[in-house]
Amino acid sequence: MTSDTPITLATLQGMKAQGENIASLTTYDAGFTQVLEAAGVELFIIGDSLGMVLMGYDSTVPVSMDDMVYHAANVARVGRSAYRVVDLPYHSYSDAGQALANAQRLVEAGGAHMVKLEGGTAMAGIVETLTGHGIPVCGHVGLLPQSVEEYGGYKVQGRDAVAAAAILADAQALEAAGAGLLVMECIPATLAAEITQAVGIPTIGIGAGPDCDGQVLVLYDMLGITQGRLPRFVKDFVAETGSIPAAIRAYVDAVKTGRYPAPEHGY
């Protein structure tokens, strides 16, 4: 995919059908957005992870709609090719009416091509409402950062048969409700592979093994900027390349060729 080719949801669906890996990263500002597009990143997730890597919070929970609109607009202002998915933050989609109003704001003021929400079967009605109003939706299953307090920390999900079956059912329910993409976070690679085969929409993994249709990392993690202990699925690409543009190009190449994630990055 060339950096000047506009990428649509249909493009990403076609890549799944053709077995072409999708390279995705988070971005939150104009400067990094231009570097990422030049390196061939095809899918941007303007994630509420910005609360931790930019704003200094301990979780994504304090991030507001104002925060998301501001950063999404920064990206949209210069973005030319990559498909833009923007997170609906914590407690911004508690019911269908609130979800619709906030999703419309992300599209109209933030320049989102698609909005992302966390949760499975319980979110099906909200997904139907949003897609029924012409707003594409990305689902998010497995580890849900907005619910991390309920888990008692950032833990791999779906390790036993019952939990794995529930995550698969969540993925299928989201697709049936109209979701066009699916992020899978911190689940066993075998489960991610099963879900990727079971659904017709592209799956984007983060800590979900090599058999997803695409991969995403938090930009600051893969550039070695984030301090402290990082999840095992994170690889520091700057350490091998010596510059930010080279690191991003190396990441894109590793995803496209299937060299990342390697076995040591999975569960």
Return the pLDDT at 138: 98
pLDDT tens digits along 179-238: 999 999 999 999 999 999 999 999 999 999 999 999 999 999 999 999 888 999 999 999
pLDDT tens digits along 136-154: 999 999 999 988 766 566 7
Return the pLDDT at 1: 47
What is the mean predicted confidence (pLDDT) over 127-132?
98
pLDDT value at 2 more than 80: no
Query: C-alpha dihedral over 245, 54, 106, 81, to 10 degrees?
Result: 0
What is the mean predicted confidence (pLDDT) over 108-128?
98
Q: Which of 37, 118, 175, 185 is catalytic?
A: 185
HSE, side-chain direction, 13 A CA sphere, residue 106: 34
Return the pLDDT at 149: 66
Amino acid at 236: D
Q: Is 185 a catalytic residue?
A: yes
pTM of the model: 0.95
C-alpha to C-alpha distance for 209 and 116, rounded to whole angstroms: 21
pLDDT value at 108 more than 60: yes
DSSP string, 241-258: HSSHHHHHHHHHHHHHTT
Kindly indicate the confidence band of residue 5, based on its pLDDT and cuts at 50, 70 and 90: confident
Contacts of 32 (CB under 8 A, 6+ apart): 219
Delimit the domains of the chain by residue range: 9-265
The topology (CATH level 3) of 9-265 is TIM Barrel (3.20.20)
What Cα–Cα distance (Å) separates residue 6 from each residue in 9, 10, 12, 22?
A: 10, 11, 11, 14
Return the pLDDT at 228: 87
What is the mean predicted confidence (pLDDT) over 248-261?
98
Question: b/e for 109-130, b at 16 or more Cβ within 10 A?
Answer: bbbbbbbbbbbbbebbebbbbb
pLDDT tens digits along 60-107: 999 999 999 999 999 999 999 999 999 999 999 999 999 999 999 999
pLDDT tens digits along 20-61: 999 999 999 999 999 999 999 999 999 999 999 999 999 999
